[in-house]
Structures are given as structure tokens and as C-alpha cells.
Amino acid sequence: MSVTAPEGFEAAGVAVGLKSSGGPDVAVVVNRGPLKLGAAVFTSNRAKANPIIWSQQVIQDGVVEAIVLNSGGANCFTGSFGFQTTHQTAEKAAELLGISAGDVLICSTGLIGTGDEVFRAKVLDGTEQGIAQLSADGGEAASLAIMTTDSKPKRSVVAREGWSIGGMAKGAGMLAPGLATMLVVITTDAVLEAAEADSALRRATGITFDRLDSDGCMSTNDQVTLLVSGASGIRPEPADFAAALTEVCLDLAQQLQGDAEGASHDITIRVVHAASESDAVEVGRSVARNNLFKAAIFGNDPNWGRVLAAIGTTAAEFDPYDVDVWMNGVRVCSQGAPDASREEVDLTPRATDLLIDLRVGEATATILTNDLTHDYVHENSAYAT
């Protein structure tokens, strides 16, 4: 059920012909309350899509009653026409729901630089159809409607005693951090204040979506939204809510990683004994974005020299000649020198674990990435055709 698992939410997913592949392509999620609160984090890319520009304005007062999402077009770099399309979509939803357009978030995903009268008409039609089909069972259809190159929907639900959190996500390419990764909608029926929701979301995304770095390419449309209905009437302890929210975010992030375009390995990079968490993140991300390392993993080659070469480009505190590297449980490098034979490392499983021990402190961080494959290059060479 994803976003409609918590009480107080209705959703729908409808098909209006935005995607050439067919299937649902407009999703609507509505918060029936009694609380009508929301929080969101957005891409830090300076090149922002029109829905991001709109939603950043809407979220400022912490009140959100609905969110409309479309696939089949990013509505980015489409000029004033594109922003008017976003505005009209919010106004259409507001008119049909009897709410303010200033309480409607908009999200879009798809090809950048495309948008015309036909696109606008289909989005508005999808908004109208979606609102007409809203139901408490509409979460699954909504999760299908936001897919683009995804091979499967991403959904997650965590239930606690008397309250719950549900979520849906889309993303298979352009997965790199910038406060959020691709499009994610999370709902909860817990009782929270707007500031609490915002703080909890930023903490959770900071160690989940923001640590997913599949291909180093940051989208113009990334947005993670948390909607709060308070319908359970239960106010959880802040730590309990934060833990449950992080669990949902991590589950969705791992699903995004597992469906990355063309990937044959899901790589978990764990950096331990760093001087600071920021150092650990910088080191992990340097490896996640190193094409030579990613190509080696695709070829099942435990080339740990590429790991040391990658982390040597960072400003993190460590001695490159005092670093240990483990691949799938085998220590292949000890204190900057060869250790176990490469033949002992089995990289044929999809799940790949890389452990980097910097041996200078107590901080840790985990980065999620994928290998670089022929299929990834082929899919992205033909994305716009």
C-alpha cells in the first residue's frame, strides 16, 4: 500500500499517455488530516526544474495538503511555459480538492527540455482523473505512476504500535546526493509538529538518500517529501520516530540502488576508523565515483589499487600507507601493502562489500553505489530516442 498504509491518506495513479511505454504516469497523494503538515528536501543542483522552484515556495509554511507527481517529462528548462504548467497543475488540484494552490506540491520526472501544450493538457487531465479516483487503496497505483526507467516500483512500510510510516520512490539513474535522491513521498499518521517533521526528515535523508551515489550524476528534479496526517492521534518519542523514518528511507534507498540502470553489482562502501564523519563520507564517495574502480567490479576484478588511488585524491586525514582494504570479507590490502591473494575474493555475487579502514579515528560512514556496465552506457546513450 506504500503511502496509503498510514491513516489519513488517499492516493491514485492514472495513465494519460505521458510515457511512450504506457502505464500510469500521473500520481496524486492527498492528506486528509487532521494535521496537514509537510516537510521536504530538494536537489542542491543550481539547475532546478519548475516543480522544484514551485515546491520550494509551497513548503516554507510547513502546510501541505496534496502532492501531484508526473512521469514522462521533467518540465525542466521549459521556460515560463513550464512554470505556468506547474502553477496550473497546482491550481487544478486545489480547485478540485477545495484547498489552496499554495498547499499543493508538484513533482515531475522524465526527459529534460521537453514540454508543450499537449504535455500540459495531459498533466492537467491526469490531475483531474487522479483526484476522481482517490482511495485509501491507491498507494500501489501511485507508486507505479512515478516510474520512468525503473524496472519495478519501490515501496516501504514500517508499522509501530498505533502509528506507521509508508513511502514510495522512483529512481534508476542520475542517482547522486544533493539533499535528496530522485522522487520520494513518505507519509505518516504520527502526531508531529512541522519543525519536528522537517528536522527528522533532514536527519534521515542525510544518512540514507544522501549516501546513495550510484553514478555521480545529480538530477534537476530530486525531491523527498514527508507528509504528516496525525490521524493515529499518537505522538511517538522523537527518537522512535526518527529511527522508523530512517528505516523507511534506508529501505527505499537500497531499493533504488538495486534497480540502478544496467548495474550488475550493488556495492556497499563502508569506511571505518576515520578522523571525522565528513572524512569518512568523502573517502567513500571518492571510490563510489571512480569509474576505474566501478569498471573493475563489473569485471569481477578485486583491483584494490584503484581504491587507494581514489581515496588518495581526497583531503581526508589518513596515511595512504597505513590503510586496510577488505573486499567481500577478504583483506586484500594491509597497511598499504598486499595481503591476501586476489584469487581469494569472489566478486560474482551481486552484493559487493568494500571495507576501508583508515586507522586514524572512530568515525564511520556507508556509501551505496553500483558498478559501471555496458548496459548502463547503452541505456543512457539512447535515453532521449
Of 241, 258, 275, the residue at which a domain comes to its end is: 258
CA–CA dist 294, 216 (Å, integer)? 12
Q: Are residues 213 and 347 in the same domain?
A: no
Q: What is the pLDDT of residue 311?
A: 98
CA distance 265 to 371: 6
pLDDT in tens, 287-315: 999 999 999 999 999 999 999 999 999 99
**How far apart, in whole angstroms, are the C-alpha atoms of residue 280 and residue 64?**
36
Q: Is 75:85 a contact under the CB 8 Å cutoff?
A: yes
Backbone angles phi, psi at 299, to 5 degrees: -85, 10
203 and 82 housed in the same domain: yes
pLDDT confidence of residue 177: 53
Is 378:372 a contact under the CB 8 Å cutoff?
Answer: no
The H or E element containing residue 42 is strand 37-42
Same domain, 304 and 244: no
**pLDDT digits 0-9 by tens, 213-266:** 887 778 888 899 999 999 999 999 999 999 999 999 999 999 999 888 788 999
Residue type, position 202, single letter: R
The residue from 258, 283, 300 where one domain ends is: 258
User: Last residue of a domain, which of 258, 293, 316?
Assistant: 258
The reported pTM is 0.92
Residue 16, helix vs strand vs coil? coil
Cα atoms in the 13 Å half-sphere on the side-chain side of 123: 33
Are residues 202 and 235 part of one domain? Answer: yes
Please indicate, yes or no, whether residues 165 and 99 belong to a single structural domain of this protein.
yes
40 near 105, Cβ under 8 Å?
yes
Query: How many domains does one find in the chain?
Result: 2
Do β-strands 9-14 and 26-31 pair in parallel, antiparallel, or remain unpaired? antiparallel
Task: Please choose, from the candidates 301, 309, 310, 357, the residue with its C-alpha nearest in 3D space to the C-alpha of residue 334.
Answer: 357
**Residues 309-323: tens digit of each pLDDT:** 999 999 999 999 999
H or E element: which one contains 185? strand 183-188
Across the range 68-78, mean pLDDT stands at: 94
Which of 148, 253, 192 shows the shortest CA–CA distance to 31?
Answer: 192
pLDDT greater than 60 at residue 281: yes
Q: Does 270 lie in the same domain as 225?
A: no
Query: Looking at the structure, do residues 349 and 217 belong to the same domain, yes or no?
Result: no
Which residue is it, cell 511512450? 20
Asked whether the bond before 338 is cis by omega within 30 degrees of 0, the reply is no
Instruction: Output the average pLDDT for the chain.
Output: 93
Say if residue 214 is in the same domain as residue 271: no
CATH of the domain at 213: 3.60.70.12
Helix residue spans in the chain (DSSP H): 50-58, 79-97, 117-132, 139-145, 194-206, 238-258, 277-288, 291-298, 304-311, 374-381
Contact 348, 311 (CB under 8 A): no
Is residue 152 within 8 A of residue 48, CB to CB? The reply is no
Please state whether 272 falls in left (phi above 0), alpha (psi between -120 and 50) or beta. Answer: beta
* pLDDT recorded at residue 174: 55
Say what the pLDDT of residue 27 is. 98
Task: Match 500510469 to its residue by C-alpha cell.
Answer: 24
The tens digit of pLDDT for each residue in 5-60 reads: 999 999 999 999 998 888 999 999 999 999 999 999 998 888 899 999 999 999 99
Which of the two residues, 182 and 186, has the higher pLDDT score? 186
The span from the CA of 158 to the CA of 160, in Å, is 7
Among 26, 12, 199, 205, CA closest to 106: 26
Confidence of residue 178 (pLDDT cuts 50, 70, 90): low
Say what percent of the chain tops pLDDT 70. 96
| Domain CATH number, residue 276 | 3.10.20.340
State the cell numbers at 254.
Answer: 537500497
Q: Do 96 and 182 belong together in one domain?
A: yes
**Alpha-carbon gap, residue 73 to 315, rounded angstroms:** 39
Residue 383: band (very low, low, confident or very high) from pLDDT cuts 50, 70, 90: low
The pLDDT value given to residue 220? 86
Does 239 share its domain with 287? no
Please determine, for residue 284, whether its predicted confidence score (pLDDT) is greater than 90.
yes
277 and 200 assigned to the same domain: no
Query: Burial, 184: exposed, middle or buried (Cβ in 10 Å; 0-12, 13-18, 19+)?
Result: buried
Q: How many helices (H) and strands (E) does the chain have?
A: 10, 15
Quick one: 34 and 97 in the same domain?
yes
With contact defined as beta carbons under 8 Å apart, do 238 and 93 qualify? no
Q: Which residues are catalytic?
A: 181
Q: Which domain holds residue 273?
A: 266-381
Calpha distance 282→288 (Å, rounded): 10
- Distance (Å, rounded) from C-alpha 118 to C-alpha 359? 58
The tens digit of pLDDT for each residue in 103-133 reads: 999 999 988 888 889 999 999 999 999 999 9
